[in-house]
């Protein structure tokens, strides 16, 4: 009959999952609430994640990586997000948006220069794509780069860029319009801008609804000059690079969303076994049982969706539609589960000291970042030939 379907994790993947689960429970859970309250970036936690090799998971050992695969990264993101999304998004953006484009499109020289410190988590990188006036509509990009002798001169503004202004940020890959094709359409390219380059300004942190222990900033470029050799990959191939980066990122964000959805189940189960109302533990009431059952169903189905997308990606098959489905289903699951968990906790769910309050604030962005739910539906419809 041929190969059997096996949804079990390999020994290596299960060992990694367990290690990250323990790390999240022991090292992240007890302290992250305080960082969140203070809008503070958790450098010490990031350092420990780096020492564990999490930032190097999908990269070869020759660049300081762990020699694992992208699915390993997804498992780590899921386990971190079961406890906290700020820490998870720092890892997700650092790897799939920061380091991955350098690994995939960079020259050997660029890889040797940037990747070892990124894989070690000693440095972070960011990906500058979104702008104040162009998010879903990447074609509306205004940031430009023109060649002046052997330098690129960059002008423009980027918005909502994760990991772009920490003390350990080493560089940002900036998506720019670098010219026009003969038919007048813009030519897009990616250019590496090291932190601290004159003309590159990182503004102060945004005041955000959620992800409060993650670093998100607006970036501006005013006649910012970098060497021509900082071009990442081929000139004019930027658009194809963004699309590939975002497809992969969607699988990672789906994994993170599943973690948040599962974290809501974890917390609700614990609370339902402790909290009493009307003379009984609330877990004895069918209204609560059904709510938690629905939450588990959402987390489970969303996990299957991202596992499927990751499997296709690792086999080198087209996975654009599956990535969009996983992102859509998982972000919906996170949002719905966060709302239900907050309801189960009642008044306590509205208090920041409880994780579900944090989960509620963190869930909404999952339906927006790395492609809105509307964009996912567009992609799915297009892949169906509509």
- Give the residue numbers annotated as catalytic, written as ranges: 370
User: CA distances (Å), 41 to each of 117, 248, 290, 351, in order?
Assistant: 19, 25, 37, 21
List residues bridging with 193 in a β-sheet: 172
Query: At which residue do the structure tokens 């959620």 appear?
Result: 210
List residues bridging with 131 in a β-sheet: 134
Burial pattern 90-103, b for ≥16 Cβ within 10 A else e, equals: bbbbbbbbbbbbbb
Would you state the structure tokens that stand for residue 324, as one six-digit string? 């969009």
Tell me, what DSSP letter sits at residue 98?
A: I
Q: Are strands 169-180 and 124-128 parallel, antiparallel or unpaired?
A: parallel
Contact 211, 365 (CB under 8 A): yes
Q: What's the rounded Cα separation, in Å, for the pair 9 and 62?
A: 26
The closest of 122, 97, 61 to 175, measured between CA atoms, is: 97
Would you state the structure tokens that stand for residue 224, as one six-digit string? 């910012």
> Helix axis angle, 320-345 relative to 373-383, nearest 10°?
150
- For the chain, the residue count is 386
Query: Where does the chain show beta strands of DSSP type E?
Result: 124-128, 144-148, 151-162, 169-180, 186-194, 200-202, 216-227, 231-232, 276-277, 280-281
Q: Are strands 216-227 and 231-232 parallel, antiparallel or unpaired?
A: unpaired
DSSP SS3 for 92: helix
Tell me, what DSSP letter sits at residue 234?
A: S
Taken in order 120, 161, 335, 333, is the CA torsion positive or negative?
A: negative
The closest of 228, 229, 233 to 188, measured between CA atoms, is: 233
Would you state the structure tokens that stand for residue 322, as one six-digit string? 């599956």
Query: Where does 294-335 show beta strands of DSSP type E?
Result: none
């Amino acid at each position: 009959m041929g190969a059997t379907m096996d949804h079990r994790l390999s020994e290596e993947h299960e060992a990694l999952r367990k290690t990250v689960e323990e790390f999240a429970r022991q090292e992240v859970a007890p302290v992250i609430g305080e960082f969140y309250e203070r809008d503070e970036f958790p450098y010490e936690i990031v350092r420990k994640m780096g020492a564990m090799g999490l930032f190097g998971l999908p990269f070869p050992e020759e660049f300081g990586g762990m020699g694992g695969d992208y699915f390993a990264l997804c498992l780590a993101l899921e386990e971190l997000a079961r406890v906290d999304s700020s820490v998870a998004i720092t890892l997700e953006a650092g790897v799939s948006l920061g380091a991955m484009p350098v690994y995939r499109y960079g020259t050997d020289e660029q890889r040797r220069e940037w990747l070892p410190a990124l894989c070690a988590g000693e440095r972070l990188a960011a990906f500058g794509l979104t702008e104040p006036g162009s998010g879903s509509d990447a074609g509306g990009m205004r940031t430009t780069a023109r060649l002046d002798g052997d330098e690129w001169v960059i002008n423009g503004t980027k918005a909502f860029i994760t990991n772009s202004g920490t003390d350990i940020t080493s560089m940002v890959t900036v998506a720019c319009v670098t010219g026009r094709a003969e038919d007048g359409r813009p030519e897009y390219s990616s250019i590496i801008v090291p932190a601290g380059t004159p003309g590159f300004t990182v503004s102060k942190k945004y005041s955000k609804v959620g992800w409060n222990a993650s670093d998100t900033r607006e970036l501006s470029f005013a006649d910012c000059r970098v060497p021509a050799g900082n071009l990442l990959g081929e000139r004019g191939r930027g658009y194809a690079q963004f699309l590939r980066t975002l497809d992969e990122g969607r699988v990672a964000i789906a994994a993170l969303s599943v973690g948040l959805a599962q974290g809501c189940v974890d917390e609700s189960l614990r609370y339902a076994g402790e909290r009493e109302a009307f003379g009984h533990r609330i877990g004895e009431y069918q209204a609560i049982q059904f709510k938690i059952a629905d939450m588990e169903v959402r987390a489970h189905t969303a996990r299957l969706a991202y596992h499927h997308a990751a499997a296709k990606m690792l086999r080198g098959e087209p996975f654009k539609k599956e990535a969009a489905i996983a992102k859509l289903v998982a972000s919906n699951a996170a949002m719905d589960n966060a709302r239900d968990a907050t309801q189960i906790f009642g008044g306590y769910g509205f208090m920041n000291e409880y994780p579900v309050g944090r989960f509620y604030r963190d869930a909404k962005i999952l339906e927006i970042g790395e492609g809105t739910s509307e964009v996912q539906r567009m992609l799915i419809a297009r892949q169906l030939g509509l």
